[in-house]
Structure 1
Amino acid sequence: MHRYAALLRGIAPSNPNMTNDKLRGVFTGLGFETVGSVLASGNIVFRSAEDDVPALERRIQRALNDELGIAGGTIIREHAELRALLDSDPFPGLTHGRGTYLTATFLKDGAGPPERLPEQPDPLTRVVGYDGAARVFLAVIDNSEPGTTPDFMSWLERSYGADITTRTWLTVQRIVKKLES
């Protein structure tokens, strides 16, 4: 049995069709086991014997769209991938906060790695790297100026389209903890 995290894009907890109980209901209806949610921003953990991740992503996204009208993307990572990412300690000595907003931007399974990382794209972002095993960009963003979108996030959208989703490092840690409970 595989332990997975589904990272859903475009979830607005204030939307009555996007509450954790409705999201979990879709996953339970698909026959997944040990379905749980992490925070209210579209992070669902579950177990399944299925091992074709792209097929799982398509199946879940189709069900979310059909049952709840959620057209955003679904990105899945296996527990082992996320655990290895945490164990690699990509943000040594840093603490998540306004001036050091630690982020992980996940690519859809099957998306190719970048030919090269962008140069430090703007003064608000420090690109830490790209983890090929977890298919994730890691960056430290200065979030002390609300309402500004760093150029790095725009570069990610231009390069990979809507097949990405970003989580804070704290959220990634919470997801792994939930997968291990």
Structure 2
Amino acid sequence: MYRYAALLRGIAPSLPNMTNDKLRGVFEGLRFEHVASVLASGNLVFHSTETDAPMLERRIQRALHTELGIAGGTIIREHAELRALLDSDPFPGLTHGRGTYLTATFLKDGATAPGRLPEPPDPRTRIVGYDTGARVFLAVIDNSVPGNTPDFMSWLDKTYGKDITTRTWLTVQRIVKKLGS
């Protein structure tokens, strides 16, 4: 049995069809086991015997669209990929907070990885690296000026399209914890 995290794009928990219980219901209807939500922003963990992540992404997205009308993207990562990412300590000495907002932007399985790291247009955003195992950009955003946060996610969408989703480093840590060490 494999442990997976599903990172859903475009989830607004305030909308009736995007609540955690409805999202979990779709996953349970797909016969996944140990389905659980992590926070209220489209992060689910589950167990499955299936090993083809791109196929899982397509299957889950099709069910979300058919059953709940959710058109956003689905990105799957296996527990071992996320555990290795955490163990690599990509943000040494940094703590998530104002001025050091740590983010992880996951690329959909099959998306083209960058040949070289892009240069963000705002100097308050620093790309730390790209982890090939987890297929994720790691960045630090300086949001210390209230009301003037760099629009990093919009820039990523324009640069890489909609086959990405961003999570805070704290959320990634919570997901891995929920999956179990």
2:20 corresponds to: 20
Distance across 2 between alignment mates of 1:56 and 1:24? 15
After TM superposition, the structure 1 = structure 2 runs for residues 122-133 of structure 1, keeping only pairs within 5 Å, are: 122-133=122-133
1:134 corresponds to: 134
Q: Percent identity?
A: 84
2:48 corresponds to: 48
1:176 corresponds to: 176
Q: Are positions 1:81 and 2:74 aligned together? A: no
Contiguous gaps of at least 5 residues in structure 2: none
TM-score, with structure 1 as normaliser: 0.95
2:159 corresponds to: 159
- Kept in 2, the 8 Å contact 1:19–1:40? The answer is yes
Contiguous gaps of at least 5 residues in structure 1: none
| Secondary structure at 2:89 match in 1 | coil
The count of aligned residue pairs is 181
* 1:118 Cα deviation from its structure 2 partner: 1.6
Distance across 1 between alignment mates of 2:69 and 2:144? 34
| Secondary structure at 1:39 match in 2 | coil
Render the CA deviation track for 1:103-162: whole Å, top value 9, x for unaligned.
000000011210111235322101100001100000000123455563643442123211
Letter in 1 for 2:51: D
Task: Tell me which stretches of 4 or more aligned residues in structure 1 moved more than 4 Å.
Answer: 146-149
Render the CA deviation track for 1:26-68: whole Å, top value 9, x for unaligned.
0000000000000000000000001111111001001001111
Distance across 1 between alignment mates of 2:176 and 2:30? 22
